[in-house]
Amino acid sequence: MTYTTRVAPSPTGDFHIGTARTAYFNWLAARASGGRFILRIDDTDLARNNHASIYVIHDCLDWLGLAPDAVYRQSHRRDIYDAAAAKLLDAGLAVRADNGAVLMKGGAAAPWHDLISGDQLPSAKAHDLARDQVLIKADGMPVYHFASVVDDIDLGVNLVIRGMDHLTNTFRHAGLYTALGAAMPDFAHVGLITMDGKKMSKRDAAASLLGYRDDGVDPDGMLNYLLRVGWGPRQDDKSMKIIDRDRAVSLFLDHGKMRASPAAMDLPKLASFDRKYKHMKRSA
């Protein structure tokens, strides 16, 4: 299977270390399968967008050496979302409200299969969230859920690896794929990186990828660390400690597994990878 994958950060602040991990896993799946890795900038939330953060996203991917094959900005693709909304309006599956917003006319969440956690059945709450969901807001901008699904269809994305915090969203997305008559990509929701038992917020200093770059951390050490947060080789022994990018490409899909359980941010472990990579580079 050839995978088209994407990482989809919102330009609303620092580049989160969890997004770096998501970027790496999606990059690996694309490289390992001879596919494409897309950077999609989710910039439809006009109130929260911050232009400088777009440069931060590019800086971070450059620093890690994860070059995208294509870059899209959602704010430049409004005609595509409008066309998808028009299709649903024409089919009688959506309605336009008095204020101009477009919403689903009824609609339901749909079951789906997670590559890591297996079959997922919608709860009553998931149906509530999917029913009558807004697609295009009164200001003409699409909501994240709609734009994300329309883009993944339009760009041929067939594998989405993202954080567990999106698992509940996927029920709504599944309903939208059905309404739009498109096949769902494969989804894999990986366990979150936590600190003190909680999801790391964008405001945690340790969550900012640029902080590590500015502290002089080796980017390959960072990648090796990120690989082992949420992925493990099928046969784990000493030879699996150092897995650089090239080796990760050959192991990621067929010789290891992503995990759904959360993993605590381990700064000493990151420091140890950092030392190892610096040492290897000095002696090379």
171 Cβ neighbours under 8 A, 6+ residues apart: 109, 110, 112, 120, 122, 126, 127, 129, 130
CA 114 to chain centre: 14
Of 87, 105, 199, 202, the active-site residue reads 202
Q: Which is nearer to ligand GLU, 202 or 278 (CB)?
A: 202
Residue 228 CB, nearest approach to ligand GLU (Å) = 21
Q: Which is nearer to ligand GLU, 31 or 172 (CB)?
A: 172
Strand partners, 142: 136
Q: Is 170 in the site for ligand GLU (CB under 6 A)?
A: no
Residue 226 CB, nearest approach to ligand GLU (Å) = 16
What whole-number distance in Å separates Cα of residue 252 and Cα of residue 111?
27
Q: Is 166 in the site for ligand GLU (CB under 6 A)?
A: yes
Q: Is 9 in the site for ligand GLU (CB under 6 A)?
A: yes
Q: How far is CA 157 from CA 4, 71, 151, 278, in A?
A: 5, 13, 8, 36
Q: Is 5 in the site for ligand GLU (CB under 6 A)?
A: no
Asked about 202 being catalytic, the answer comes back as yes
Residue 148 CB, nearest approach to ligand GLU (Å) = 5
Q: Which is nearer to ligand GLU, 155 or 242 (CB)?
A: 155
Count of chain residues binding ligand GLU (CB under 6 A)? 7
- Options 33, 44, 53, 148; binder of ligand GLU; rule CB under 6 A: 148
Residues of this chain, 39-68, that bind ligand GLU according to CB under 6 A:
42
Q: Which is nearer to ligand GLU, 162 or 228 (CB)?
A: 162
Q: Is 10 in the site for ligand GLU (CB under 6 A)?
A: yes
Q: Which is nearer to ligand GLU, 9 or 219 (CB)?
A: 9
Residues of this chain, 236-255, that bind ligand GLU according to CB under 6 A:
none
Catalytic (active-site) positions = 202
Binding region for ligand GLU (CB under 6 A): 8-10, 42, 148, 162, 166
